[in-house]
Amino acid sequence: MRDLVGNLINAKISRRGFLAGMSAASFSAAAAESALRSVAALVPGSEVPPNFTRTVTGTGADLLVEQVIETGAKYLFVCNGSGLGPVCDSLVDHPQLQLIQATHEGQLVAIADGYAKASAKTAFGMFSRVGLPHSSSNLYNAMKDRTPLVLFSDHADPDREGTDSHEDLDDWMAAVKPYTKWRWTVHEPERLPEWVRKAYKVATVLPGGPTHVRIPRDHLYKENLTASVYSRQALNIPMELRPDHKEVERAAKLLLEASSPLLYVGPEVSQTGARASLVELAELLAIPVTQHRSFFADFPNFHPLYIGELPAVQSYLQSNPTPIDCFLNFGARFPLRRKSFIRGLTVIHASVDPNTIGRNTPLASALVGHLNEVARSLIEAVKSLATPRQIELRTAERRARCAAHTAQVRAARVTAGRRSRGEPVPWQRLMYELNQQLDRDAVVVEELGTEHKTLSFFPFADDAKMKIGRTEGRALGWGVGASAGVKLALPDRQVISLQGDGGFLFGQTDSLWTMSRYDIPVMTVVTNNRSYEETRWQIMNRGGRAGQANRDYVSYLGDPDVDFTKLAAAYNIPGAVVSNSEQLRPAIQRGLRTLKDGRPFMLDVRTRNLGAGAELSWYPDFSLANHRNRKV
Amino acid sequence: MTAENSWKFACRLSVATVCLIPFLGWGQDLFPKGQARNTVLLVCSQCHTVTRITDADLNAEEWELTLYDMIARGAPVHADDLDLVRQYLIDNFAIDEQ
């Protein structure tokens, strides 16, 4: 479709040719007409509907702000920088755009990322020209998750750029090319709305991703510029691509003929709003479901057909007499080759991204399209190929077996959480208590080591709790900022941020400043085991020289023993330290009361360590003070 | 299950059993008989070697918490087997702190 729109805008094809092309690409006639109406305004020489554009005269920053507002943006996430000056001038006359300030570019991107994920809207941010390197770790996370972000910065003035002098590099964009879907340096200030529009469009179209636009500061200050600003209506091009109907029929046959299919769900399911349709498909065929490591819960995790993350398939196979013979990947980028039980299987892959399909695994069937459309089409196809009675005969036993297995495993986990107690607090008891105390529709933003820690205890579904995180990129330093963004997007739902002590110490204190300044009531829960657990397990379990010598060089965090409530107190955020399981419930309740009063809260839960090296507090001893020749 | 699938399953089960025999045989010495013995061997070995169990230096209370931690992380123990597994681990592997 992108090519068709490009050809239409560049007058390489006619309107009729565009409609024919859309039809050939499996768009419905209504979708094609709608797309044509939307892009018509962009076609050179065409009549632009009067409500599609308006003329704006002002500074470069005015043009930028006006176009941002036209996309429907409510917030502009910013970080301090002298290039923000002209934008601040413009905001005097544009009070409808609310600034949310962060104190570090990396956390700004995390806040914007959380906002975009929770709101399903594109988030806008702006930071200093030299802030780009700081932003890049969470820019990487956002790119991995295909989160739609538009990030601006100022840039050296035209008479300075390219000189490698003060605050300038020859090629700023090279460093973030892999982390951005599109990037541009503006050289004609009158075209600012055009670049804002394009950055928004490119970031938003699935699969999305961050875009970055750099604007010379004197362009932002330049006055009396006149340009056309395009309305949101002109920017909304429907992208609900339907899959090829013959391929759908083929995939439906494969699924019906399979003795033991498995549905593997990934984040595109949530990004395309396909969860409900996918539940219907899974229930129709009684397909057990497993979850890719995703920043959403892409299938209700307490559903009788939900068996867990991929390793859980092994246990399901123990109670299932028929090995998996058909693997349906819905919206995950995953190299299936590593799993022995998938080798030789019939694999079907559905994705919005043609670049993803078949990239890592040979396929029996490829379904390119909007995943809600794919799911709906598969349901229709299955129903057209078999009667309800035939489907029931094929699926009844599998449905019952899977439900019995998942109910047993789930009950064991809940029992394990409820029975765990002591000092320090077993983490599973913390999760159990949180689930008991939180609202039914609370949002859990997590940046812990394994998704099992949350997926096992909180029921996530469209009508239950919502899970956001951990990022697919897994670069730590995202979750606290992201939770602030999530709360901005969903102000009427409880939001908690689940952090490890190690993860929090990845420079996330900065976002407490933002939470405090703007009264963003998020409860940050630090599972504080004074250790990087995954690192410790790697070092101590591999039997290498460090493990044999009982030397864990990097994982122990207990010296200094950080009290996270004191960090929060520096930002005027109240908190509580919890040392044993008996203290959990009252501390959580106090935190929730604080949220109700409109303030953030910090819960520092001292959790029990487990596994190899759990008892170690050794680290390479070094004191610079002892190496001084002068005590200064 | 169709006849063909039954046959395929039987073949795969045979292969799996043959592969498991040395493992179970080796484990026999380390893992005494008990109602939950096979469940422990099958569930725990999905993620780590079973020597982690025999090498662990845990008392009864620590074994219980460790089991609950593993279950919460995804060890696929069924609720009906939970207490049997807990008791098996404590009876056979808990250290006596006296």
Cβ pair B82:A323 closer than 8 A: no
In chain A, what's the furthest Cα-to-Cα distance? 88
CA distance B41 to B21: 12
Q: If you ran DSSP here, which 8-state letter would residue A162 be given?
A: T
Q: Is the pLDDT of residue B16 over 50?
A: no
Domain that includes residue A205, residue range? 56-235
Nearest residue of B to residue A258 by CA position? Answer: B5
Query: For residue A341, which residues of chain B lie inside 8 Å, CB to CB?
Result: none
Interface test with A, best of B53, B61, B73 (most A CBs within 10 A): B73
Q: Hey, which bits of A222-321 come out as E strands? A: 225-230, 261-265, 289-291, 306-309
- Residue A448 to residues A605, B6, B28: CA-CA distances in angstroms? 14, 42, 37
Nearest by CB: A408 against B64, B69, B78: B78
pLDDT at A204: 94
Output phi, psi for A183, to 5 deg: -150, 150
Query: For residue A413, which residues of chain B lie inside 8 Å, CB to CB?
Result: 71-72
Cβ pair A309:B74 closer than 8 A: yes
Distance in Å, alpha carbon of A219 to nearest chain B alpha carbon? 54
Cα of first residue to Cα of last residue in chain A, in angstroms, is 68
A311 domain residue, yes or no? yes
pLDDT at A309: 84
Cβ pair B66:A610 closer than 8 A: yes
CB A323 within 8 A of CB A300: no
A98 domain residue, yes or no? yes
Distance in Å, alpha carbon of A464 to nearest chain B alpha carbon? 20
Whether residue A376 is preceded by a cis peptide bond, meaning omega within 30 degrees of 0, is: no
Residue A267 and residue A221 share a domain: no
A477 domain residue, yes or no? yes
Cβ pair B79:A408 closer than 8 A: yes
Strands A495-500 and A466-468, by their bridges, are unpaired
CA distance B33 to B46: 20
Q: What is the CATH number of the domain that holds A408?
A: 3.40.50.1220
Q: A208, A235, A262: which is the final residue of a domain?
A: A235
pLDDT at B13: 38
**Sorting pLDDT into bands at 50, 70 and 90, what band is B19?**
very low
Residue A411 and residue A465 share a domain: no
Domain boundaries, chain B: 1-26, 31-98
Q: Does B9 touch chain A (CB under 8 A)?
A: yes
Distance in Å, alpha carbon of A362 to nearest chain B alpha carbon? 23
Number of H helices, E strands in chain A: 26, 20
Q: A174, A207, A235: which is the final residue of a domain?
A: A235
Cβ pair B2:A413 closer than 8 A: no
Interface test with A, best of B9, B48, B69 (most A CBs within 10 A): B69
Q: Is the pLDDT of residue B18 over 50?
A: no
Query: For residue A547, which residues of chain B lie inside 8 Å, CB to CB?
Result: none
A30 domain residue, yes or no? yes
pLDDT at A393: 96
Residue A425 and residue A402 share a domain: no
Nearest by CB: A413 against B12, B47, B72: B72
CA distance A55 to A408: 64
Interface test with A, best of B68, B77, B85, B86 (most A CBs within 10 A): B68
Distance in Å, alpha carbon of B5 to nearest chain A alpha carbon? 8
- pLDDT (tens digit, 9 = 90+) per residue, B22-73? 444 455 578 999 999 999 998 888 888 888 899 888 999 999 999 999 999 8
Q: What angle do CA A180, A141, A498 make, to 5 degrees?
A: 155
Q: Which of A352, A351, A370 is nearest to A361 (CA)?
A: A351
HSE-CB at A306 with a 13 A cutoff on CA atoms is: 21
Nearest residue of A to residue B85 by CA position? Answer: A412
Residue A214 and residue A98 share a domain: yes
Nearest residue of A to residue B49 by CA position? Answer: A541
Q: Which two tokens stand for residue A277?
A: 């349709």
CB A40 within 8 A of CB A46: yes
Residue A290 and residue A220 share a domain: no
A103 domain residue, yes or no? yes
A506 domain residue, yes or no? yes
Residue A577 and residue A545 share a domain: yes
10 Å Cβ neighbour count for A354?
13
* H or E stretch covering B86: helix B82-93
Output phi, psi for A313, to 5 deg: -65, -35
Distance in Å, alpha carbon of B29 to nearest chain A alpha carbon? 23
Class of domain B31-98: mainly alpha
CA distance A37 to A231: 13
Interface test with B, best of A398, A415, A607 (most B CBs within 10 A): A415
CA distance A58 to A89: 11
Q: Which of A264, A419, A117 is nearest to B69 (CA)?
A: A419
pLDDT at A473: 94
Nearest residue of A to residue B6 by CA position? Answer: A322
pLDDT at A283: 98
CA distance A577 to A153: 40
Q: What is the CATH number of the domain that holds A462?
A: 3.40.50.970
Quote the percentage of chain B above a pLDDT of 70.
Answer: 69
Q: Which of B46, B41, B7 is nearest to B22 (CA)?
A: B41
A289-321: buried (b, 16+ CB within 10 Å) or exposed (e) per residue? Answer: bbbbbbbbbbbbbbbbbbbbbbbbbbbbbebbb
Cβ pair A322:B1 closer than 8 A: yes
A612 domain residue, yes or no? no
Cβ pair B76:A413 closer than 8 A: no
pLDDT at A420: 97
Q: Which of residues 53-72 of B touch A (CB under 8 A)?
A: 61, 64-69, 71-72
Distance in Å, alpha carbon of A107 to nearest chain B alpha carbon? 29
Beta bridge partners of A365: A348
Q: Does B74 touch chain A (CB under 8 A)?
A: yes
pLDDT at A339: 55
Residue with tokens 């000092």: A423
CA dihedral (A299, B48, B56, A555) positive or negative: negative
Q: Left if phi > 0, otherwise alpha if psi is -120 to 50, otherwise beta: which for A369?
A: left
A527 domain residue, yes or no? yes
CA distance A348 to A325: 11
Query: For residue A316, which residues of chain B lie inside 8 Å, CB to CB?
Result: 76
Query: For residue A409, which residues of chain B lie inside 8 Å, CB to CB?
Result: 76-79
**Structural domain count, chain A:** 4
Q: A415, A441, A472: which is the final residue of a domain?
A: A415
Nearest by CB: B65 against A407, A426, A457: A426
Cβ pair A316:B76 closer than 8 A: yes
Q: Hey, which bits of A276-385 come out as E strands? A: 289-291, 306-309, 326-330, 346-351, 365-368
| Ranges of chain A whose pLDDT falls below 70 | 1-2, 26, 28, 30-31, 38, 40-50, 335-343, 451
Residue A558 and residue A587 share a domain: yes
pLDDT at A315: 78
Query: For residue A541, which residues of chain B lie inside 8 Å, CB to CB?
Result: 48
Beta bridge partners of A211: A150, A182
Query: For residue B1, which residues of chain A lie inside 8 Å, CB to CB?
Result: 259, 321-322
- pLDDT (tens digit, 9 = 90+) per residue, A245-296? 999 999 999 999 999 999 999 999 999 999 999 999 999 999 999 999 899 9
Distance in Å, alpha carbon of A293 to nearest chain B alpha carbon? 14
Residue A598 and residue A577 share a domain: yes
Q: Is A324 helix (H, G, I), strand (E, B) or coil?
A: coil
Q: Which two tokens stand for residue A621?
A: 């001893």
- pLDDT (tens digit, 9 = 90+) per residue, A372-411? 999 999 999 999 999 999 999 999 999 999 999 999 999 9
Distance in Å, alpha carbon of B78 to nearest chain A alpha carbon? 5
CB A189 within 8 A of CB A155: no
Nearest residue of A to residue B13 by CA position? Answer: A321
Output phi, psi for A287, to 5 deg: -90, 125
Nearest by CB: A452 against B66, B73, B77: B73
| Number of residues written out for chain A | 632
Query: For residue B72, which residues of chain A lie inside 8 Å, CB to CB?
Result: 413, 416-417, 420, 427-428, 431, 452-453, 456-457
pLDDT at A404: 95
* H or E stretch covering A218: helix A217-221
Nearest by CB: B82 against A415, A457, A610: A415
Q: Is the pLDDT of residue B74 over 90?
A: no
Nearest by CB: A322 against B9, B69, B77: B9
